[in-house]
Amino acid sequence: MMSAAVSCDPRKAATGLSVEERDWMASIAGARVQFDVPMGRHTTLAVGGPADALAMPADIKVLTLLLSGARQRAIPWLIIGGGSNLLVRDGGIRGIVIALTPYFKGITIMDHGPEDVRVTAKAGTRLQALCRYAIERGLAGMTFALGIPGSVGGAIAMNAGTADDCIGDVLETVTILWPTGRLQRLGRADLDFGYRRLALPTPEIATGQRQGVIIDGTFTFSRTDFRQLRISAQKRKAERKQRQPVGVSSAGCFFKNPPSGPSAGELIDRAGLKGRRVGGAEISSRHGNFIINRGNARAADILALAEIIETRVAVKFGIRLEPEVIIAGESDYASKSV
């Protein structure tokens, strides 16, 4: 789960980073930036070629310097959280991958009343940590998200949820860092949520920047009986465990559900594709909308399976499935001597 990279000069995006660019990043982030990092180590699918740079900023100041400097140098960047809902192609990612999960973590109660409690979670906080935090305190509103992987920031950006509930239902405000360095807090009325998406207002369009970085989100939860909430949570977790593959590498649900009719998983099942393999990738026999890495898959294997699914479902049912997983990077690695 993540925000999109800004657009940039395509010539620079295709050729990697220069010595000057690497020195600039190291001067800002020190040991918290690494170069030529295999993205399979940082995604739940465990596939993906090398990122030119992987930065893990420790605070807003460093993150701002990275974003503003990348903007000035026309270097593309990509924000990631826990690396779920992300498929990186075998050629890797040109530019900077910025991971928020290591340092942008924390949950704070902002205020509370007799019925409602407002809680702020930083973008790098694991979504499951926020779920547990709410349940342990008898705060209703996050049970639907149990079992959904990723970070709070990614969950907000993708409006993560189920068929019945989603993050947008409980989110009150979100703090955005724009590439120009401006921090802005947006209320619920300013946020355009849709199915598995969040469209932010774009006041920075005039400067050529398309996307802001989610720094934190504030949620409103309602007080409820702790024991009943815990029972409901245990039931929800057991249902997910029964329906979905566990203990394997995946990105969660691979395709969005169609606007109406059967879900993507049902369509894939009816198309007879469960258990289908390409290389080390397999369509889960437990849930058709999960493509799993059996341990030696390449991104190309997963993409080939996804194409098989799209084609078979389109031919059999006349429905075109759209990926829910963000697909990033290049098929082939184009290096540059530095």
Q: Report the catalytic residues.
A: 196, 253, 324
Token digits of residue 283:
């369509």
CB atoms within 10 A of CB 181: 14
Q: How far apart are CA 280 and CA 292, in angstroms?
A: 9
Task: List the one residue out of 99, 79, 82 whose CA is nearest residue 45.
Answer: 82
Give the SS3 label for residue 126. strand
Q: How far is CA 32 from CA 65, 75, 128, in A?
A: 14, 18, 25
- Sequence letter at residue 210: R
Per the document, the length of the chain is 338
- Sequence letter at residue 263: S
Chain mean position to CA 171: 17
